[in-house]
Amino acid sequence: MEIEQITNENVLEADIRELSMNSDFGKMVFENANKKLTNAQNWLKEANDLEYDKLLEVENDKNQIVSLTNQLITNLEWLRSFDISVIPNAQVEHDNFESRVDGYYNNVYQKLVMKYLPFLREEKRRQNPDEKKIEDEVRRVSQLRKGLAEELESVKSDIEKIRTTGKELGTAKGTRAIVDTGQHFDKEVVRYQNLAKIWLTLAVIGYIVIVCILALEIFPQIEELIDLFNNPEASYISSIWVIVVSKLVILATLWYGLSFIIKNYNVNSHLASINRHRATVAKTLEDYISVEQQQENPRLSEMLKSATEAMFKNAPIGFISKTEKETGNPVLQIINDVMGARGK
């Protein structure tokens, strides 16, 4: 389809994209000309709509706009007649034309955009008061929008400061809580250690008492009991059982008391070790928090969670074993064993 010749009547309505980006050009389409000639056409169209020929009083000024329009016609006509199959050196012609378009665009921008269009727009507003009011309203809205944007930025800044302050305050509270917790566990360690020492002293005394009773009461009667066992008379055998049971009851009672003392020693030693472990975790966590706060993305919540699990999980310390938990009453156990043996 042949494109219509560009004239003064249709230059402002011509399809510049169709002329410059013609598929027949292949890779030698005129992207630069398409953009810049389109802008020039729009500015000339605006000058024409603003009736430059009436508002410009100096004839030379009118002639300059007419000259720019004629140059646009020349450039578009060149594009319309460009044929890569006929022109011997099409690439050179292409590049030269793009350079001419650059010069033409700069001339239009300096003379029309920077000089005549601002004057024509202002004159048109002065002739139409309603448009001037709209322009003033647009200007006020623009100023209001700018003020709101600045106020919004200020509010965002304040919110960020509040968040930062809140994080710092929360971190400070967390660090202080860790320090207080560590000090509390240290106090608990001292208390349970003192109790463990007291129960250890009682255990030593209990062992000494049992050894003394064994040496003074039980061992001297072993030979007597052996003789009574060898005596076939029933009355002596009854006496044997009375002596054995009475001694075992005394011994079992003392042993039960000693077991109670040892269990309390183990419990307090166990609690002292647990609280020492917790105090160590709290003190270590304080150092880790100080280091983590200096990182770009501190993971304090994960660290606190891991520390809490390490601090309060049920750790096997060794002072209280499963056997100790399942131990029953030794007095009843000994008596039951003796009575069972007698029944046999």
For 139-191, what is each residue's pLDDT tens digit? 677 777 777 777 777 767 767 766 655 555 555 555 566 656 767 777 777 88
The predicted pLDDT at position 85 comes to 81
Q: What are the φ and ψ backbone dihedral angles of 82, each rounded to 5 degrees? A: -70, 125
For the entire predicted model, the pTM comes to 0.40
Dump pLDDT digits (tens) for 265-274.
777 777 777 7
Taking CA atoms, 29 is separated from 48, 84, 95, in Å, by 29, 11, 11
pLDDT confidence of residue 234: 45
Q: What is the pLDDT of residue 188?
A: 77
Contacts of 199 (CB under 8 A, 6+ apart): 261, 262, 264, 265, 268
- Hey, what amino acid is at 341? A
Identify the DSSP state of 89.
T
For residues 57 and 53, give the distance between their C-alpha atoms in angstroms, rounded to a whole number.
8
Task: Report which secondary-structure segment, H or E, holds 256.
Answer: helix 234-292
Q: What is the pLDDT of residue 99?
A: 94
- The Cα 8–Cα 66 span in angstroms is 10
- Predicted local distance difference test score (pLDDT) of residue 27: 83
**Residue 212 CB-density burial (10 A; 0-12 exposed, 13-18 middle, 19+ buried):** exposed
Please tell me the predicted confidence (pLDDT) of residue 273: 74
Ranges of the chain with pLDDT below 50:
234, 323, 325-328, 330-332, 334-335, 338-339, 341-344
- Give the per-residue pLDDT at 328: 47
pLDDT at 341: 46
